[in-house]
Structure 1
Amino acid sequence: MMRPGGGISTMEKPSIVMDNGAGYSKAGFCSEDRPKFVLRTKVGIPWSELVHEIGHQTLTAGMMAPVSTSLIWKTPIVHGVVVDWNAIEIFWKHIFYRLLKIDPRAHSVLLSDSPASPLVNRELAAELLFESFGVPAMHIAPSCTLSMYSCGRTIGLVIDVGDGTSLTCPILEGYILPCALYRLDIAGETLTHRMRELLRLSGNSFFSHQKSLVRKIKEKTCYVALDYQKELQSDLCLDYPLPDGHILSLTKERFQCPETLLQPKLMGINEPGLHQMAFNSLQKVESSSQQAIQESILLCGGSSLFRGLPERLLNELRRLLTGNSKFNLLVPNPKKRWYAAWVGGAIAASLPTFNSLWVTKEEYKENGPISLHRKCN
């Protein structure tokens, strides 16, 4: 039931919260404290469908898809930005109808969106939700803002290390500061490729279809060195059992791989690392707000889970933020870091004060994208 003025009655069915990332997507109900489903953001298209119009009944998505050589896998989100809206429509159908088993016409939907995403993508998402799925209301919020909400804060600096991109984004009273946003296209996916290359250089080649195995090796064994140069002098070795029974001996690859988050030059990329990005973001903030923001520096995202990364960032930020400047690095437990944007979205969608921020179907029909940009900023 709609309230006068475009709000939504809190008596209706719980809102759906979707955090669509380049690597993984999280979906569930705002009434729950964690996403109901976490799945790979991928859509499988049968070979036979490549020359025909895409139909959702012939496609499959995410982790529910069977392993099949007859499928062409498409990645609809690249570096945090949707690049294939046909695939996203299929993906959302999979989430709504097959996983959550709901009728989207009965649920409002809150979407997370990368701060680096163009405004036109919000318009396309709204068009899809209203016209294809018939949702009664929707809202799109920057993922960094939602992540900060997950910690009960509306002001701070988010260091978000995802699968497609890494971002540092200051938040002030619930709003991002675009002029202080920094982006690095080195994240989980890049590091998986980096790990494969490091393994190849050490005499351990993996085929392209073994990408998931390389990802698992990366996630299970890699760590960030507290002192990179000192670690290079070590002779640490770890034996990792492979599915075929062979043993993989790992040495410097374990810390050389994630070091590129802090030293992109190791991959030939002339960009600042995470710590320098965070510092640069803070320097772009007005001096009157800088102290309050740096007292809540939040580390989040699935690729922030490398052991040693919080400690290394702490050391690097201490070096950069000299003098009497105080700062606080917030490091939630691993699942909370991974789910941060989704949890923040669930919190926001559950608040009675959020009712006025929903863009209703009636508003959208009457005003088009204007209502979207007025309420989702």
Structure 2
Amino acid sequence: MLLRKVWESLSGISSSSNSNTSNNSRIWQSTTSTCNFGSFDRLPEDVVGLILRKLGPNDAAKLCVVCKTWRQIVVSDNRLWIQFFQSNFVWDWDSIFFSETQLCYDHQLSLMQIYGYRVKVPGAIIVDGGSGYCKFGWSKYPRPSGRSATFLEFGNIEAPMYSRLRHFYATIYSRMQVKSTTQPIVVSIPICHYDDTESAKASRRQLKGAIYSALFDMNVPSVCAINQATLALYAARRTSGIVVNIGFHQTSVVPILHGKIMRKVGVEVVGMGALKLTGFLREQMQKQNIYFESLYTVRELKENLCYVALDYEAELSKDTLQSYELPREGLFTLSKERFQTGEILFQPRLAGVRAMGLHQAVALCMDHCHAAELMSDDSWFKTVVLCGGTACLPGLAERLEKELHELLPMYSSNGIRVIPPPYGVDSAWHGARLIGSLSNFPGAWCMTKKQLKQKLRKNH
């Protein structure tokens, strides 16, 4: 009766499709004898597609049991399921395609099966805890549901690591109003302990172990812990490249190949982060006798007025005066401070810092990647992905790309592309969301308490 009703609504289309019927009917002739569904078995393929699209994914999947002919079309017509994906996941179809083809371990599934598994995935809690700010929410939502200032609320460095983490995660669960025992969790591991030395490896193991212990003691069913740089790279729909993370206190340049950080190649670190830029802008405002209430005021002005000049010397001669109004504080007007603040990333000496510029650190990392000869060609490290709040400054990606082309020789600079933060300040969170929504999640991505104990026993 459902099919008859749909067919009646589409009956006008069949007459316009008569010219194509002879070609399409061959598909059905071979299976007519196995079906007992009457004239529906001999419908033209384009009409079948229209019926399936009108029914929607759930009813289309149920039609697999109607007859062999319909089952073949429903299962094998990937175009049909691509349309279902695009209509049900409008905001990130490209990311879904990337994650299921590049991150999923099982590539034998049809699009119909992938769709079905994704619908049934329970979802996960996503927690991206940076040194400055923390973002948290559900993997089934298109954006974080909450944020908190990590450095203010969880910055008690006197407390043991386990106690800090336990308090941190307990607070997140409380704010999300969800029990820790209900859902798996995907957490980002901060970019720290950069070296490939034994002491650095031990520090990373200690941090990861403390994260697992804190969460499993809260009876979380399973945990997926991944480095922030890798998550930001996934958000840009890449598995290999160089991630430039401008953190709260410092900037790290991280080479990643097939989702794994290449610490043996070398992670470059620049002692210049978001806090230094905010402090520099504060000093420039004080020199201009511009009054402000707090550092938060300066940060707001940095995020809304500052940018990175493509040519610093040429920008000095331009009129860059612009104003921005903050609620309850009034109107603020900045001029050269707008681009001088971001310039200290490339010329740290302007802020009195003895360090190499951002472009020099990225170029050095690329030189190390080229010398390591990890792949037959150098294309894997020529994609540079920016992440972090300060990385969202307008013009930063274009300036860095320009500097790299000028600094590196032709064979290294050819093909370099610098990508701005794909999801702004939430890039790492969105990379975690891709994992938490995979058709095979939690699967091999997560670790249970039992698996952790077995791993520790084996290592011991």
Scaled to the shorter chain, the TM-score interval is: 0.7 to 0.9
Tell me which residue corresponds to 2:235.
150
Q: Which amino acid aligns with 1:365?
A: K
Instruction: Specify whether residues 307 and 319 from structure 1 end up closer, same or farther in structure 2 by C-alpha distance, changes over 3 A only.
Output: same
1:308–1:123 CA distance, 2 compared to 1 (3 A): same
* Count of residue correspondences: 326
1:240-319 matches, within 5 Å, as 240-241=324-325, 243=327, 247-285=331-369, 286-289=372-375, 291-319=378-406
Q: Alpha-carbon deviations, 1:290-315, whole Å to 9, x = none?
A: 61223322122211111111111111
Q: Is the 8 A contact 2:243 2:254 kept in 1?
A: yes
Partner SS for 1:129: helix
Aligned to 1:92: 169
1:112 deviates by: 0.8
With normalisation by structure 2, the TM-score equals 0.64
| Counterpart residue identity of residue 336, structure 1 | Y
Query: Residue 124 of structure 2 corresponds to which residue in structure 1?
Result: 15
Q: Does the CA-based 8 Å contact 2:255-2:267 persist in structure 1?
A: yes
Match of 2:310 in 1: 226
Return the letter of the residue paired with 1:111.
Answer: V
Residues of 1 paired with 2:380 and 2:357: CA distance? 20
1:97 Cα deviation after fit? 2.1
1:24 pairs with 109, 133, 141, which one? 133
The separation in 2 between residues aligned to 1:201 and 1:279, in whole angstroms, is: 34
- 1:203 maps to 2:289: yes
From the superposition, tell whether residues 228 and 36 of structure 1 become closer, same or farther in structure 2 (CA, over 3 Å). same
Q: What residue is the counterpart of 1:139 in the other structure?
A: 224
Distance 1:347 1:245, change over 3 A: closer
1:102 to 163, 172, 178: 178
Q: Deviations over 1:334-376 (max 9, x none)?
A: 66132221111121233317622322111223444977x9xxx
**Structure 1: 5+ residue stretches without partners:** 1-8, 45-73
- What is the alpha-carbon distance in structure 2 between the residues aligned to residue 84 and residue 190 of structure 1? 26
Do the aligned partners of residues 161 and 14 (structure 1) sit closer, same or farther apart at CA in structure 2, a change above 3 Å counting?
Answer: same
Please say if residues 155 and 292 of structure 1, whose CA atoms lie closer than 8 Å, have aligned partners that are also in contact: no
Question: Higher relative CO (CA 8 A, sep ≥ 6), structure 1 or 2?
Answer: 1
Q: Secondary structure at the match of 2:285?
A: helix
Partner amino acid for 2:288?
A: S
SS in 2 for 1:145: helix
CA, structure 1 residues 173+239, in 2 after alignment: closer, same or farther (shift >3 Å)? closer
Matched, 1:344 2:425: no
| SS of structure 2 residue aligned to 1:297 | strand
**What is the alpha-carbon root mean square deviation over aligned residues?**
2.8
Matching of residue 358 in structure 1 with residue 443 in structure 2 = no
Note the C-alpha offset of 1:259.
1.0
Q: Which TM-score applies when normalising by structure 1?
A: 0.77
CA distance in 2, matches of 1:150, 1:242: 32
Q: How far, CA to CA, are the matches of 1:251 and 1:30 in structure 2?
A: 41
Distance 2:342 2:300 in 1: 14
Does the CA-based 8 Å contact 1:236-1:251 persist in structure 2?
yes
Instruction: Show the counterpart of 1:112.
Output: 188
- Return closer, same or farther for 1:247/1:342 CA change in 2, 3 Å cut-off: closer
Aligned in 2, Cα 1:108/1:240: closer, same or farther, shift over 3 Å? closer
Per-residue CA distance 1:20-63 (angstroms, 9 max, x = gap): 1122211122233332223322555xxxxxxxxxxxxxxxxxxx
| Structure (1/2) with the larger strand percentage | 1
* Structure 2 residue 198 is the aligned partner of structure 1 residue 123: no
Partner-residue secondary structure (3-state), 1:345: helix
Q: Percent identity?
A: 29
Say which SS state the counterpart of residue 362 (structure 1) adopts.
helix
Shift of 1:129: 0.8
Q: Distance in 2 between matches of 1:218 and 1:308?
A: 14
The structure carrying a bigger helix percent of its residues is 2
Provide the rounded CA distance (Å) in 1 between the counterparts of 2:400 and 2:457.
40
Unmatched runs of 5 consecutive residues or more in structure 2: 1-116, 194-202
1:219 partner letter = E
- CA–CA distance in 2 between the matches of 1:29 and 1:370? 34
